[in-house]
């Protein structure tokens, strides 16, 4: 059984590494795109602004990928916890959902700005991303609220999770 746990830890570390490499690649693409937006040239301002806005979207996805790498490393490699206790599940899902909700919110803002500058017919799509982010945030709030009563069944879970936080810091 120890071999399987060690193997899974290595796999999780590999996944975190891929997330990190993907984040750096997206960041490089965003920097290139941002440079194209601000570099001197004959391109119209509207297309330059669209490039800058798209680079912000890439940076957002890059940040999300990097945050996922950090979450996987902290939760699965450093702590090596088995996600079974309600406290750990809530914390793990909360870290993940914070990243997703923030990324979707920023992407919806980028989509709205792009739609306003290029094609207003895309506004409903951008709005639907914002509505999806809001619905996800509301569902997350309901989950945390319902999970709170389950945590009361395991009063030592929060204390144990706080002790594990010392290992990460």
Per-residue pLDDT for 150 more than 60? yes
Compare 16 and 145 and report the one with higher pLDDT: 16
What pLDDT score does 85 carry? Answer: 64
Average pLDDT of the residues in 4-12: 87
What pLDDT score does 28 carry? Answer: 96
Give the C-alpha distances (Å, rounded to integers) separating 42 from 36, 56, 159: 11, 22, 61
Residue 85 has which token pair?
A: 């206790």
Whole-angstrom distance, CA of residue 131 vs CA of residue 139: 12
Whole-angstrom distance, CA of residue 145 vs CA of residue 147: 5
Compare 155 and 92 and report the one with higher pLDDT: 92
* CA nearest to 105, candidates 140, 73, 146: 140
Average pLDDT of the residues in 104-115: 83
* CA nearest to 100, candidates 51, 149, 56, 135: 135
What pLDDT score does 158 carry? Answer: 57
pLDDT in tens, 65-83: 898 888 888 877 777 655 5
Rounded to two decimals, the pTM is: 0.67
> DSSP label at 85?
S
pLDDT in tens, 9-67: 899 899 999 999 999 999 999 999 999 988 887 778 877 887 888 888 889 889 888 98
Whole-angstrom distance, CA of residue 65 vs CA of residue 16: 9
Domain ranges in the chain are: 2-168
- The residue assigned the tokens 């306003």 is 116
């Amino acid at each position: 059984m120890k071999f399987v746990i060690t193997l899974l830890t290595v796999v999780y570390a590999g996944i975190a590494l891929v997330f990190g490499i993907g984040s750096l690649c997206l960041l490089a693409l965003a920097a290139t795109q941002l440079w194209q937006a601000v570099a001197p040239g004959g391109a119209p301002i509207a297309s330059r602004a669209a490039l800058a806005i798209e680079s912000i979207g890439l940076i957002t996805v890059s940040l999300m990928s990097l945050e996922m790498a950090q979450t996987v490393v902290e939760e699965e490699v450093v702590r090596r916890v088995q996600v079974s206790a309600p406290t750990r599940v809530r914390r793990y899902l909360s870290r993940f959902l914070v990243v997703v909700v923030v990324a979707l919110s920023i992407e919806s803002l980028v989509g709205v700005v792009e739609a306003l500058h290029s094609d207003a017919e895309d506004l409903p799509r951008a709005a639907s991303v914002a509505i999806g982010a809001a619905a996800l945030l509301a569902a997350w709030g309901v989950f945390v609220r319902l999970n709170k009563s389950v945590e009361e069944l395991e009063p030592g879970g929060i204390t144990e999770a706080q002790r594990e936080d010392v290992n990460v810091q």
